């Protein structure tokens, strides 16, 4: 009853307040935010609406207007053909989304623009237009493509293929016999393919390497270097043979009287020209020179399953001397980067146990940058050999007691200093020097006109002692 009175006392306004309060309490339950899955779905639906493909094609007075955003290629081509009364087939391999805006174009012209922009293959067969993927992946696209073979003149075919775009490399085939690269694609792609190869298939500079190897006695090398001022002005390379440290320095120019002094030492027997090869190679390729001897050794090899003492002998060779591997590079601006690997090896007396000689090897590697025509000097490559010579008088040297009087033993020590002079020069595109330079070099190195041909090649091989 009290409640009834209270409500009655309050009247209509109180009832409205109670209804509002009840509504407020119910509102959160009704308007509660959606769960995570529902929110994601709503967001995805909104994004999908924004990313919906758009395609509009209008035909006016024979011209076509095409506006497409992320439109399916099949739908676009089919709609365009239908609106312009063209017969057109689109291969199943075409799976692209196309975005374009073309105005006032003829129907065939519009198709040409789309095909070129997206790299499709396009052909007309008995009035029917056929569109397929540009790079053949099935017989239908292969029938619409063309094939082209480009012969590289200066670059190896495998290298040419690697210089092409990555997506294209998987489709490029090699023809090693013709040093060519082959591609099957639409004509527009093939034209670009050929144009790109022609841009980087340029002749690399040819470089001549004039190498002079001179063997001095220990004292004359020091005197020769001091007279030319190498030890003081930094023009050359000297070595501390005790620690094996080897340094390389470029020579601005050989002294004007260099060859005169060298000839004088050779005449007096104080120096010997071991080799004077002239090697031509291509920039970035290797050239090598070997000056020394190749000794063959007979080694016993036990036969499998054989009895004791059953073996056969095999022959093996050991190189001993000076080996110089060079790799010149030039950017065509009058400077040359010269990579040099040098190895000096000697054979000592045979080992008492194995009977095989020991081989002592010293190696060095350097990279120098010099100007065209400068000289790199490698000096201080000292070799010291001890030789034992025995002599005797037959029969008398075998007599007891007094036989020693008819035998002699002499120990000889030979010490030499090897110097290597390397002068790289950039040749013309025809592989020649100028007439004046040729004459100067022939006179400098004592080569008569019409002398022996130069050793050439990207990997020039070995040059024997001269």
Mean pLDDT of the chain: 74
Q: Enumerate the CATH 3.55.50.30 domain ranges in the chain, comma separated.
A: 54-132
Per-residue pLDDT at 232: 41
314 vs 81: CA distance, rounded Å: 80
Per the listing, tokens 């010099």 go with 370
The DSSP string of 58-91 is: EEETTEEEEEEEEEEHHHHHHHHHHHHT--EEE-
Q: What's the fold here for domain 54-132?
A: Phage tail protein beta-alpha-beta fold (3.55.50)
Question: Strands 278-282 and 455-456, how do they pair?
Answer: parallel
DSSP label at residue 19? H
Chain segment 139-191, per-residue pLDDT in tens: 877 777 888 999 999 889 999 999 998 888 888 999 999 999 999 888 888 89
Q: Enumerate the CATH 3.30.1370.120 domain ranges in the chain, comma separated.
A: 145-200
Per DSSP, the three-state class of 408 is strand
List per-residue pLDDT tens for the chain, 466 residues long.
333 333 333 443 444 333 333 443 444 444 444 455 554 454 555 455 445 778 999 998 889 999 999 999 999 999 999 999 999 989 888 888 999 999 999 999 999 999 888 888 888 888 888 888 888 877 877 777 888 999 999 889 999 999 998 888 888 999 999 999 999 888 888 899 999 999 999 888 889 999 988 888 765 566 666 555 554 444 444 444 343 434 445 455 676 777 787 888 888 888 888 888 888 898 889 999 888 887 777 666 665 655 555 566 677 778 888 889 999 998 767 889 999 988 888 777 676 666 677 777 878 788 888 888 888 888 766 666 666 667 778 877 787 877 777 777 777 666 777 788 898 988 876 666 656 666 766 676 666 655 443 444 444 334 333 3
Q: Are 322 and 213 in contact (CB under 8 A)?
A: yes
CATH (one of 3.40.640.10, 3.50.50.60, 3.30.1370.120, 1.20.1740.10) for 145-200: 3.30.1370.120
Backbone angles phi and psi of 258, in degrees to 5:
-60, -50
Per-residue pLDDT at 181: 94
Per-residue pLDDT at 455: 42
Per-residue pLDDT at 3: 36
CA 430 to the chain's CA centroid: 25
């Amino acid at each position: 009853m009290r409640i009834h009175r209270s409500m009655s006392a309050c009247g209509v306004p109180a009832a409205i307040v109670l209804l509002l309060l009840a509504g407020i309490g119910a509102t959160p339950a009704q308007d509660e935010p959606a769960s995570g899955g529902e929110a994601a779905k709503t967001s995805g639906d909104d994004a999908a609406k924004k990313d919906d493909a758009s395609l509009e094609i209008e035909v006016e007075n024979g011209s076509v207007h095409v506006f497409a955003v992320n439109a399916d290629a099949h739908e676009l081509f089919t709609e365009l053909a239908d609106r312009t009364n063209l017969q057109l087939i689109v291969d199943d391999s075409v799976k692209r989304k196309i975005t374009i805006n073309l105005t006032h174009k003829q129907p065939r012209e519009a198709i040409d623009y789309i095909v070129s922009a997206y790299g499709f293959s396009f052909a007309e067969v008995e009035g029917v237009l056929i569109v397929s993927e540009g790079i053949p992946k099935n017989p239908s696209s292969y029938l619409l493509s063309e094939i082209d073979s480009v012969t590289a003149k200066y670059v190896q075919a495998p290298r040419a293929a690697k210089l092409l775009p990555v997506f294209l490399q998987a489709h490029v085939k090699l023809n090693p016999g013709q040093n060519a690269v082959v591609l099957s694609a639409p004509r527009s792609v093939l034209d670009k393919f050929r144009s790109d190869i022609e841009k980087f298939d340029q002749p690399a500079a040819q470089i001549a390497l004039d190498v002079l190897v001179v063997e001095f006695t220990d004292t004359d090398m020091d005197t020769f270097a001091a007279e030319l001022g190498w030890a003081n002005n930094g023009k050359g390379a000297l070595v501390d043979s005790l620690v094996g440290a080897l340094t390389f320095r470029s020579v601005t120019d050989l002294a004007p009287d260099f060859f005169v002094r060298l000839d004088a030492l050779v005449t007096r027997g104080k120096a010997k020209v071991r080799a004077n090869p002239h090697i031509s190679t291509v920039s970035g390729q290797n050239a090598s020179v070997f000056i020394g001897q190749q000794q063959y050794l007979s080694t016993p090899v036990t036969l499998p399953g054989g009895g004791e003492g059953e073996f056969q002998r095999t022959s093996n060779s050991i190189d001993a001397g000076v080996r110089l591997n060079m790799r010149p590079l030039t950017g065509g601006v009058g400077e040359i980067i010269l990579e040099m690997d040098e190895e000096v090896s000697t054979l000592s007396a045979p080992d008492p146990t194995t009977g095989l000689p020991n081989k002592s090897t010293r190696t060095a590697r350097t990279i120098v940058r010099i100007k065209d025509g400068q000289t790199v000097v490698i000096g201080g490559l000292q070799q010291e050999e001890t030789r034992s010579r025995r002599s005797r008088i037959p029969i008398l040297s075998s007599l007891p007691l007094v036989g020693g009087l008819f035998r002699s033993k002499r120990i000889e020590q030979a010490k030499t200093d090897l110097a290597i002079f390397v002068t790289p020069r950039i040749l013309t595109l025809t592989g020649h020097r100028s007439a004046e330079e040729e004459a100067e070099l022939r006179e400098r190195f004592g080569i008569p006109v019409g002398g022996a041909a130069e050793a050439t090649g990207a990997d020039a091989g070995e040059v024997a002692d001269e």
